[in-house]
Amino acid sequence: MSESVLVVIPTTQAQREEFQAIMPEARFVFADQRDTPPEDPRGFDIILGNVPPASIQASPRLAWMQTSSAGSDAYTRPGVLAPTTLLTCSTGAYGQAVSEHLFASVLAVQKKIELYRDDQRAHVWGDEGAVTSLRGATVLVLGAGDIGSAFARLCQAFGARVVGVRRHPLQPGEPFDRIISLDQVREVLPQADVVVSFLPSTPQTCNLADADFFAAMKPGTIFANGGRGDLVDEDALVEALQSGHLTGAALDVTRTEPLPAESPLWDVPNLLVTPHVAGFYHLQATLDNVVALAQANLRRYAADEPLVNVVVR
């Protein structure tokens, strides 16, 4: 019996033919991640792309799933995948897109672009005061993987000193001037001018950015989050911004998405919020990367070779 493969990634006809050429005997079904799969995901041996976790229901048939996202925490929760299912992710596909989005957001906050946008809408020709620069600044990057490294390179190109945070710190090297562990973050916070997070959601990172975290920053620091929303105590962030302790902040992720209409985050003047759009497929290069990673791992799978980006569960 041939294997069945569900590809939940937007693909061109040429790309579909490339997938089929890798496993000629397999039955392929293609769908867009934004659509409901035409068939029950539990009927497939392989899923390439993201489907609703509840639709898998620990299918014993599913041998391998590769997420189209870099994060895979939605699929590592108990009961989503069977113990025998191999899980891989698309780490490496999003470095350019997410780093550029967060870099643009940080620059916008430094130059108070969001305040001038508010002035424009209010028909106010005003002066929002002093701004800051990345030149000579210390930038603390929480999460020194693919995305964090791409962000660090952008900051260094502007003349910043960049400190990276990894679970297991290694010897410092390009693109970081220094690498520290998560346990050392509170010691370094007072030195940072900009703090940016790309951390995944784990028990160790949940609510990491709380009132004490923001209080440890020196006055005038900018905070940005492009990782997971549960990192941040949002009430504490609002207080730090409204009090003036933080100059500004940028969020592409929030604890609840979509962000509820009653959330105070909407109304903080020096906070820039974007609706989790840094990644996905807004940049064509990202989609090309996701497809290429899926095809490369499918070739390995067909050849019975070890897969890359394996998620330890």
- pLDDT-based confidence at residue 34 (cuts at 50, 70, 90): confident
Percent of the chain with pLDDT over 90: 94
Which tokens is 27 given? 């039955």
SS3 77: coil
**In the annotation, is 161 catalytic?**
no
Q: What is the pLDDT of residues 234-281, one digit of tens each?
A: 999 999 999 999 999 999 999 999 999 999 999 999 999 999 999 999
| pLDDT for res 138 | 98
Q: Is 276 a catalytic residue?
A: yes
β-pairing, 221-225 with 194-197?
parallel
What is the pTM for the complete model shown? 0.94
> Are the C-beta atoms of 57 and 81 separated by less than 8 Å?
no
pLDDT at position 174 is 82
User: Which one of 187, 257, 282, 305 is the catalytic residue?
Assistant: 257
* Element spanning 36, H or E: none
Which of these is catalytic: 276, 299, 300, 313? 276
Residues ≥6 apart with Cβ < 8 Å to 4: 26, 27, 28, 29, 43, 44, 45, 46
pLDDT surpasses 70 at 1: no
Would you list the DSSP string of 100-116?
HHHHHHHHHHHTTHHHH
Dig out the tokens for 301 from the structure: 């799978």
Catalytic residue at 257?
yes
The dihedral formed by the CA atoms of 66, 70, 73 and 74, expressed in degrees to the nearest 10: -60
Q: How many CB atoms lie within 10 A of CB 42?
A: 15
Task: Give the model's pLDDT for residue 267.
Answer: 97
Distance CA 112, CA 234 (A): 21
Question: What separation in angstroms does the CA of 234 have from each of 217, 256, 259?
Answer: 16, 10, 11
Catalytic residue among 101, 114, 161, 228: 228
Average pLDDT over residues 279-308: 97
Across the range 217-228, mean pLDDT stands at: 98
Segment 120-130 shows an average pLDDT of 97
